[in-house]
A and B are shown apart, each in its own frame.
Chain A
Amino acid sequence: MPQTPVYIICSPPPAGRQDADRRLLSEFLLLKNGDVASFDINLKEPSLLEYLPKITETADVIDTFGKMQLMDRVIVDDGIAKVIDLGFHAFDEFFKMTEEIGFTKEAARRSVAPVSCSWPIPTGFPRALFRCCSSRSRRARW
């Protein structure tokens, strides 16, 4: 049964090669599937939004409302791949939130597959999410 992938791209400071990677990934998914939803959480320097405005929207994890706007869409198994461009400013809050709300367990239940695209692993990256992502990353070929 196909799963809905959620690519979490962790951008270290300053955004260098990752900048090209996330654009490539979004464009590849758009070309391959015909649809992709990208979320730009680079608060200080939105970049994906500048290059792919039609499929990208800004998101934030500063307050609860912003988290709801983002995660309530990301967790839906609608067959549309999601790309989260996570700026390093938002690492702590995002990973803390995913751990607290049980994102990995719920994703597994709903056939949503989180895939992390990050090197090195950022500080505070939840172990559960890392295990979940790394097992799926091995299967992902992009």
Chain B
Amino acid sequence: MFHILGPSIASLDEIAETANFMQGAKYFLVKNFINDTQFFQWDQATYNSYFHRIKDATELTIPKLNEMAYEQVEVASVPFLKFVANKGVQDEAANYSFVLRGYVRHWLANVWSEFDRIKLTIWSAPAKPAPAAPAKNNCAQRVIWLD
């Protein structure tokens, strides 16, 4: 289970409530950075009381995307990869800012490297085992220059 957390005590309190139902399941605590808040890492006592409460929980960090880049992707109404590739909804050439595309590319690489770190594809793999990909062929390295 992926538990998407917000940087508030109310949200972190949900960890304790959820913990009762998590026996035998794989539990991911997703720190979703939507702004510059730190999930109380500046206060180790508070931080530890929440994030070290469940044994074997895996932390996953979704870093903050530059605000203007995020809004531009929203306005463009295209997937992140199309935005990076400077393409519109119908794959037509677009004219997004090079700076904003760079920020999205950088952010996407960080997010995918987190997915690689927790081996997301193993947890969500189909029942039939697929042939193993080369170790270096991970998602983060595939966020490259697409246009």
Contact = CB atoms under 8 A, between A and B. Distances in A.
A103 interface: yes
B68 interface: yes
B103 interface: yes
Interface residues of B, number: 14
Given A72-B97, A109-B145, A64 B102 contact: no
Interface string B96-113: 011111110110000000
Contacts of A109: 145
Contacts of B145: 102, 105-106, 109
Interface string A57-96: 0000000110110011001000000000000000000000
A103 B106 CA distance: 12
Contacts of A106: 98, 102, 145
Contacts, number: 40
Contacts of B100: 64, 68
B103 A101 contact: yes
A132 to B, nearest CB: 15
Interface residues of A, number: 15
B68 A64 contact: yes
A102 B105 CA distance: 9
Interface of B: 66-69, 97-103, 105-106, 145
28 contacts: A64-B66, A64-B67, A64-B68, A64-B69, A64-B100, A65-B68, A68-B68, A68-B97, A68-B100, A71-B98, A72-B97, A72-B98, A72-B99, A100-B102, A100-B103, A100-B106, A101-B98, A101-B101, A101-B102, A101-B103, A102-B102, A102-B105, A102-B106, A102-B145, A103-B102, A106-B102, A106-B145, A109-B145
Interface of A: 64-65, 67-68, 71-72, 75, 97, 100-103, 105-106, 109
